[in-house]
Amino acid sequence: MKWSLCIGAYPGKDEIYHLERIKEHGFDGLEYYAWWNLTDLKKTAKEQERIGVGISATCTKFISLVDESLRDAYLEGVRQTIEACRILNVKSVISQTGNVLDGIPRETQRQTMVETLKRCAPLFEEAGIVLEVEPLNGLVDHPGHFLQRSDESVGVIDQVDSPNVKLVFDVYHQQITEGNVIRGAAGYIERINHYHIADNPGRKQPGTGELNYVNILRAIRNTGFDGFVGLECGYTIDTDEAIEQFKRDILAPAMNG
């Protein structure tokens, strides 16, 4: 398994600072969501080579999977994102789904999503990049978000039927939406490309809430998963101190137990 931090882990610091800290902690990547905010992609790429770790995931430029009228804009954003990923050597692209549209049957919106993802799939297959659809909780953070449950999300991925269209499984979101996270996190392993972790409530670093991350990460490890797990969380103490606590109290027993 590989470990990533997310941009904002060090508030006010740029991607280069984050990458240097990630390297010092022995982690493997940075999730930098809005690639279009980078002022010089080629310069960032050179800095990645110098430091020895790079951006592991970014986001699509537009979010509109359930609105057929915005499909062309979504696909154009995908093309732009793939080109940025080529420069930065990023292999994962995260997409949310957009909010439920009033007055349109849910099944119609779901099939619109499937069709848009099917049109994206050949672009990602050719580029050697995985598009990751992310279900989000609607109770606390994202009211109205279309995909919230892991089972419905897996159904969408199965309909698309591409090795380059998968899920990012966010343990925090799924704990709020449905609980039962070990069964989902391990049971859907074939459709999951990477994980996000944060504790609940509060969305702070693992160890600050109700989730038993030693057991959760051990269960993921036991599936043979070798992709990224990203700490997408805030921090209740100094970031470096929190990461050291995470490595000592959660990561070590989860990986060695």
**Known catalytic membership, residue 20:** no
Cβ atoms 125, 86 nearer than 8 A: no
Cα-based distances in Å from 80 to 36, 55, 75, 152: 9, 17, 9, 28
**Known catalytic membership, residue 232:** yes
Catalytic residue among 134, 152, 190, 210: 134
Phi, psi of 225 (to 5 degrees): -60, 135
Token pair 């990923």: residue: 85
Distance of CA 35 to the CA centre of its chain: 14
CA dihedral (96, 71, 42, 47) in degrees, to 10, reads 10
Cis peptide before 201 (omega within 30 of 0): yes
Catalytic residue among 20, 232, 241, 244: 232
Q: Which residues contact 84 (CB under 8 A, 6 or more apart)?
A: 35, 36, 41, 58, 90
Which positions are catalytic?
Answer: 134, 232
